[in-house]
């Protein structure tokens, strides 16, 4: 809005200008006097709005009472802005957004932070950690955004989380759910939203379908998260001491498709995508079924972990055997190491992880290489003999006594020593399944 020297205003209905204005009983100087009075009143209203915003930011105006001096509430303003947005944007996209979020666009980032009682700086850190793009001061946020800020800030204020930990919570949740959402849209909803009848458009199917799916998927997501949280909590409380809760001794395995780079050059993109999806799905199912944890997938490689060396070994051999029986899959190689691992945000770090990765890179096709610590752990738990000679002696002794010989599941064969970049000289062991 602008005000000229004569006091006439432009840009809003209150100016009285624009098409449709009719002449009234006041004319000449009386009309000019009325226009100047209206302009003066508008300037005063702007000043009052600015002061009101400052008072609200400083906490002198309760959040529930934050109407503007014109007597309009934030909700009324948001409806106006939403109407304007709908007239400019894709109506279906806006309707879908409102359906999924469960609320209208109502706040700018500054207004959301102010309503949540959080500084704009901290709010920006939370939003960026969650993976949300900067939107300037567009009115695109909802009551749910304000509530999320209040909850995170409340955990910090209550001393349950430090500010850095709250940001980590936001980042881990944002990264995980972003991938989940993309995955569901790409592989799930896209197929379901194919028009069921000729003549129907996908847009005519999408809204009612999401309306039906949304509550079910939300409940399922919460259920799976609670089950995973219960399992993770159980593993932590069983740790021997406080240090082991963060830096734990785990078996870490990498499984890698052989010759994947060559495959990318000669396969069509769709075929390559199907191969990667089949590999990741098979690996995920086998890891979960045998008690391991899938840490992440990297296209042609999966990283998994297990608390028990025997479990990690069984998973590795099952992967090799399953892929070998599938003619569409290339060969696989696996490397496993055992030792102290640092866990952060669902990922694992440390020398043990690096060693497992290096072992994978030098493993023969369709074979499993393990480090010395992993071999010792298998021997200690009775899953593998110290050597085949020892196993033979034990079998002879057991036969003389009329007893069953030890039932070893895995065999270990020492391999040549190798210099591994960044880790020095290592002596890997070739692990196999014993009959």
The angle, 0 to 180 degrees and rounded to 10, between the axes of the packed helices 163-184 and 143-157 is 140
* Selection from 145, 156, 74 nearest residue 112 by Cα: 145
Share of the chain above pLDDT 70, in %: 74
List, for residues 240-276, the tens digit of each pLDDT value: 555 555 567 899 999 999 888 777 777 787 788 888 8
**Contact status, residue 126 vs residue 134, Cβ threshold 8 Å:** no
Classify burial at 428, counting beta carbons within 10 Å of its beta carbon; exposed 0-12, middle 13-18, buried 19 or more: buried
Q: What is the DSSP track for 339-363?
A: EEEEEETTEEESHHHHHHHHHHHHP
Confidence of residue 42 (pLDDT cuts 50, 70, 90): very low
**Contact status, residue 284 vs residue 315, Cβ threshold 8 Å:** no
Residue whose pair of structure tokens reads 């593998």 in the numeric block: 384
Q: What is the DSSP track for 268-336?
A: -HHHHHHHHHHHHHHHHHHHHHTT-EEEEE-SSEEEEEESSHHHHHHHHHHHHHHHHT-TTSPPEEEEE
128 sits in which H/E element: helix 120-129
Q: Is residue 343 scored above 90 in pLDDT?
A: no
Q: Is residue 9 scored above 70 in pLDDT?
A: no
List, for residues 77-99, the tens digit of each pLDDT value: 444 444 444 434 567 788 888 88
Residues near 415 by beta carbon (within 8 Å), at least 6 away in sequence: 369, 427, 428, 429, 430
**Contact status, residue 120 vs residue 109, Cβ threshold 8 Å:** yes
Mean predicted lDDT score pLDDT of the chain: 77
Residue whose pair of structure tokens reads 């210099």 in the numeric block: 419
In 3-state terms, what secondary structure has residue 201?
coil
List, for residues 146-171, the tens digit of each pLDDT value: 999 999 999 999 999 999 989 988 98
Model pTM above 0.75: no
In 3-state terms, what secondary structure has residue 31?
helix
Q: Is residue 69 scored above 50 in pLDDT?
A: no
> CA–CA separation, 84 vs 89, rounded Å?
9
Q: Note the pLDDT of residue 241.
A: 53
Out of 90-104, 193-207, 405-419, pick the least confident: 193-207
Phi-psi region of 217 (alpha: psi -120 to 50; beta: other; left: phi over 0): alpha
Task: State CA 401 to chain mean position distance.
Answer: 58
The domains found in the chain, sorted by start residue, are 2-15+25-65 (no CATH), 74-192 (1.10.1660), 246-433 (3.30.70.1230)
* Selection from 281, 288, 294 nearest residue 252 by Cα: 294
Mean pLDDT of 350-362: 92
Mean pLDDT of 220-237: 86
List, for residues 303-331, the tens digit of each pLDDT value: 999 999 999 999 999 999 999 888 888 89
Q: Note the pLDDT of residue 67.
A: 40
Please report, for residues 263, 265, 273, 307, the alpha-carbon distance to residue 269 in angstroms, rounded to integers and kept in the order given: 10, 10, 6, 37
Task: State CA 273 to chain mean position distance.
Answer: 21
Mean pLDDT of 406-423: 86
Classify burial at 131, counting beta carbons within 10 Å of its beta carbon; exposed 0-12, middle 13-18, buried 19 or more: middle
Classify burial at 139, counting beta carbons within 10 Å of its beta carbon; exposed 0-12, middle 13-18, buried 19 or more: buried
**Contact status, residue 350 vs residue 314, Cβ threshold 8 Å:** no
**Contact status, residue 377 vs residue 371, Cβ threshold 8 Å:** no
């Amino acid at each position: 809005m602008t005000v000229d020297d004569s006091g006439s205003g432009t840009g809003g209905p209150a100016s009285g200008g624009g098409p449709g204005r009719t002449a009234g009983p006041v004319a000449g100087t009386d009309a000019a006097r009325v226009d100047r009075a209206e302009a003066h009143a508008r300037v005063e209203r702007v000043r009052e709005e600015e002061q009101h915003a400052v008072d609200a930011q400083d906490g002198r105006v309760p959040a529930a009472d934050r109407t503007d001096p014109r007597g309009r509430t934030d909700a009324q303003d948001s409806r106006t802005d939403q109407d304007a947005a709908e007239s400019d944007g894709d109506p279906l996209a806006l309707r879908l957004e409102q359906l999924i979020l469960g609320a209208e666009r109502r706040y700018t980032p500054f207004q959301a932070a102010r309503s949540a009682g959080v500084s704009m700086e901290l709010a920006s850190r939370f939003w960026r950690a969650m993976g949300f793009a900067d939107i300037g001061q567009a009115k695109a946020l909802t009551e749910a955004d304000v509530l999320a800020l209040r909850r995170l800030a409340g955990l910090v204020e209550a001393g349950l989380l430090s500010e850095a930990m709250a940001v980590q919570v936001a980042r881990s949740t944002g990264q995980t759910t972003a991938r989940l959402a993309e995955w569901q849209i790409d592989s799930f909803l896209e197929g379901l939203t194919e028009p069921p009848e000729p003549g129907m458009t996908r847009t005519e199917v999408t809204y009612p379908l999401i309306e039906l799916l949304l509550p079910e998927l939300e409940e399922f997501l919460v259920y799976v998260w609670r089950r995973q949280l219960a399992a993770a909590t159980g593993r932590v409380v069983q740790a021997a001491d406080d240090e082991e809760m963060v830096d734990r001794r785990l078996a870490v395995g990498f499984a890698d498709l052989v010759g994947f780079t060559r495959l990318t050059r000669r396969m069509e993109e769709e075929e390559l995508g199907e191969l990667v999806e089949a590999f990741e799905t098979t690996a995920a199912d086998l890891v979960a079924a045998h008690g391991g944890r899938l840490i992440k997938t990297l296209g042609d490689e999966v990283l998994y972990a297990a608390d028990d060396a025997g479990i990690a070994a069984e998973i590795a051999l099952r992967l090799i055997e399953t892929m070998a029986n599938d003619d569409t899959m290339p060969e696989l190689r696996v490397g496993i190491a055992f030792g102290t691992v640092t866990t952060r945000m669902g990922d694992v770090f440390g020398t043990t992880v690096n060693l497992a990765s290096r072992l994978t890179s030098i493993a023969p096709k369709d074979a499993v290489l393990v480090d010395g610590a992993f071999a010792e752990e298998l021997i200690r738990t009775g899953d593998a003999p110290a050597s085949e000679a020892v196993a033979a002696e034990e079998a002879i002794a057991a036969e003389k006594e009329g007893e069953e010989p030890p039932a070893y599941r895995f065999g270990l064969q020492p391999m040549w020593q190798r210099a591994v970049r960044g880790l020095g000289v290592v002596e890997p062991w070739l692990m196999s399944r014993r009959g």
